[in-house]
A and B are shown apart, each in its own frame.
Chain A
Amino acid sequence: MSWSASNSVARIGRWSKTLAFRLTAGYAISGLLTVFFATAGLYLVLVTELERSTDLFLADKLNVLRTMLRERPNDLDALREEVELESAARRYEQFYIRLLDEKGTPLMETPGMAEQLDMPQSMAQPRARFDHAAAMGGRQGRPFRVISAAVPVGSPPEKSDIIQIAVDVSQKEELLARYRHWFAAIMLGTLAVFPVAGYQIARRGIRPVEEMATTARHISSSNLHERILPEGYPFELASLADTFNKMLDRLEDSFERISRFSADIAHDLRTPVNNIRGEAEVALARARTIEEYRDVLESCLEESVRLSDLIGDLLFLARAESPLTLLHRARIDVGELLSSIRDYYEASAAEGGVSLTASTGGGPVIAELDRQLIQRAVGNLVGNALAHTPPGGKVVLGANTEDSVIRIEVSDTGVGIPPDALPKVFDRFYRVDTSRSHASGGTGLGLAIVQSIMTLHKGHAEIASQLGQGTRVILHIPVSR
Chain B
Amino acid sequence: MKILVIEDEIKTAKFLKRGLNEAGFVVDVASDGLQGLHLAREVDFDLLILDVMLPGLDGWGVLTRLRESGRRSLVLLLTARDAVHERVRGLELGADDYLVKPFAFSELLARIRSLLRRGPARPQEVIRMADLEIDLLRQRATRNGHRLDLTSKEFLLLTLLARRAGEVLSRTLIAEAVWDMNFDSDTNVVDVNVRRLRAKVDEPFPMKLIRTVRGAGYVMECEQ
Min CB distance, B66 to chain A, in Å? Answer: 29
B193 partner residues in chain A, CB cutoff 8 A? 347
Min CB distance, A392 to chain B, in Å? Answer: 18
CA distance A296 to B186 in the complex (A): 23
Are A307 and B102 closer than 8 Å at their CB atoms? yes
CA distance A345 to B153 in the complex (A): 12
Min CB distance, B187 to chain A, in Å? Answer: 8
Q: What total of chain B residues lie within 8 Å of the partner, measured CB to CB?
A: 23
| A-contact 0/1 string along B148-189, CB 8 Å cutoff | 000001000000000000000000000100011111111011
B118 partner residues in chain A, CB cutoff 8 A? none
Is B214 among interface residues, defined by CB-CB distance under 8 A? yes
CA distance A387 to B192 in the complex (A): 14
B186 partner residues in chain A, CB cutoff 8 A? 348, 383, 386-387, 441-442
Is A192 among interface residues, defined by CB-CB distance under 8 A? no
Partner of A344, one of B84, B179, B214, B216: B179
Min CB distance, A328 to chain B, in Å? Answer: 10
| B-contact 0/1 string along A317-328, CB 8 Å cutoff | 001000000100
Is A376 among interface residues, defined by CB-CB distance under 8 A? yes
| A-contact 0/1 string along B198-223, CB 8 Å cutoff | 00000000000000001110000000
Which residue of the partner chain A has the closest CB to B194? Answer: A347
Which residue of the partner chain A has the closest CB to B182? Answer: A372
Is B196 among interface residues, defined by CB-CB distance under 8 A? yes
Is B82 among interface residues, defined by CB-CB distance under 8 A? yes
CA distance A113 to B184 in the complex (A): 121
A210 partner residues in chain B, CB cutoff 8 A? none
Are B189 and A315 closer than 8 Å at their CB atoms? no
Contacting B at CB under 8 A, from A345-359, are: 345, 347-348, 351
Q: Classify the interface of chain B: helix, strand, loop or mixed.
A: loop
Partner of A315, one of B82, B214, B216: B82
Are A343 and B179 closer than 8 Å at their CB atoms? yes
Which residue of the partner chain B has the closest CB to A345? Answer: B189
Partner of B189, one of A305, A312, A348: A348
CA distance A343 to B193 in the complex (A): 11
A383 partner residues in chain B, CB cutoff 8 A? 185-186, 189
Are A343 and B184 closer than 8 Å at their CB atoms? no
Residues of A in contact with B, size category: 20 to 34
B102 partner residues in chain A, CB cutoff 8 A? 304, 307-308, 311
Partner of A302, one of B153, B181, B215: B215
CA distance A307 to B182 in the complex (A): 19
Q: Given A298-B214, A308-B102, A315-B82, is A348 in contact with B181 using a C-beta cutoff of 8 Å?
A: no
Are B184 and A344 closer than 8 Å at their CB atoms? no
CA distance A301 to B215 in the complex (A): 5
Q: Given A298-B215, A315-B82, is A379 in contact with B192 using a C-beta cutoff of 8 Å?
A: no
CA distance A125 to B186 in the complex (A): 122
B215 partner residues in chain A, CB cutoff 8 A? 298-302, 304-305
CA distance A245 to B84 in the complex (A): 39
CA distance A216 to B156 in the complex (A): 64
Are B192 and A351 closer than 8 Å at their CB atoms? yes
A215 partner residues in chain B, CB cutoff 8 A? none
Which residue of the partner chain B has the closest CB to A326? Answer: B84
Is A340 among interface residues, defined by CB-CB distance under 8 A? yes
A326 partner residues in chain B, CB cutoff 8 A? 84
CA distance A386 to B185 in the complex (A): 12
Are B183 and A375 closer than 8 Å at their CB atoms? yes
Partner of B181, one of A304, A307, A319, A344: A344
Are A376 and B214 closer than 8 Å at their CB atoms? no
A311 partner residues in chain B, CB cutoff 8 A? 102
Are B153 and A343 closer than 8 Å at their CB atoms? yes
Which residue of the partner chain A has the closest CB to B197? Answer: A347
B196 partner residues in chain A, CB cutoff 8 A? 347
Is A190 among interface residues, defined by CB-CB distance under 8 A? no
Partner of B182, one of A315, A347, A351, A376: A376
A304 partner residues in chain B, CB cutoff 8 A? 102, 215
Is A309 among interface residues, defined by CB-CB distance under 8 A? yes
Are A347 and B192 closer than 8 Å at their CB atoms? yes
Partner of B183, one of A305, A319, A372, A442: A372
CA distance A322 to B214 in the complex (A): 36
Min CB distance, A209 to chain B, in Å? Answer: 44
Which residue of the partner chain A has the closest CB to B193? Answer: A347
Partner of B179, one of A299, A340, A442: A340
| A-contact 0/1 string along B2-42, CB 8 Å cutoff | 00000000000000000000000000000000000000000
Is A380 among interface residues, defined by CB-CB distance under 8 A? yes
Q: Given A298-B214, A307-B102, is A344 in contact with B189 using a C-beta cutoff of 8 Å?
A: yes
Are A340 and B188 closer than 8 Å at their CB atoms? no
**Which of A319, A326, A343 gathers the greatest number of chain B CB atoms within 10 Å?**
A343
Min CB distance, A150 to chain B, in Å? Answer: 106
CA distance A348 to B184 in the complex (A): 15
**Which of B102, B184, B189, B193 gathers the greatest number of chain A CB atoms within 10 Å?**
B189
A344 partner residues in chain B, CB cutoff 8 A? 175, 179, 181, 189
B153 partner residues in chain A, CB cutoff 8 A? 343
13 contacts between A and B (CB under 8 A): A299-B215, A301-B214, A301-B216, A302-B214, A308-B102, A348-B186, A348-B188, A376-B182, A376-B183, A379-B181, A383-B185, A383-B186, A441-B188
Query: What 8 pairs across the A-B complex have the smallest Cβ distances?
Result: A301-B215, A298-B214, A376-B183, A344-B179, A302-B215, A383-B186, A308-B102, A379-B185
13 additional A-B residue pairs with CB within 8 Å, beyond A308-B102, A344-B175, A379-B181: A300-B215, A304-B102, A309-B184, A311-B102, A340-B179, A343-B179, A344-B181, A372-B182, A375-B183, A376-B182, A387-B186, A441-B188, A446-B185
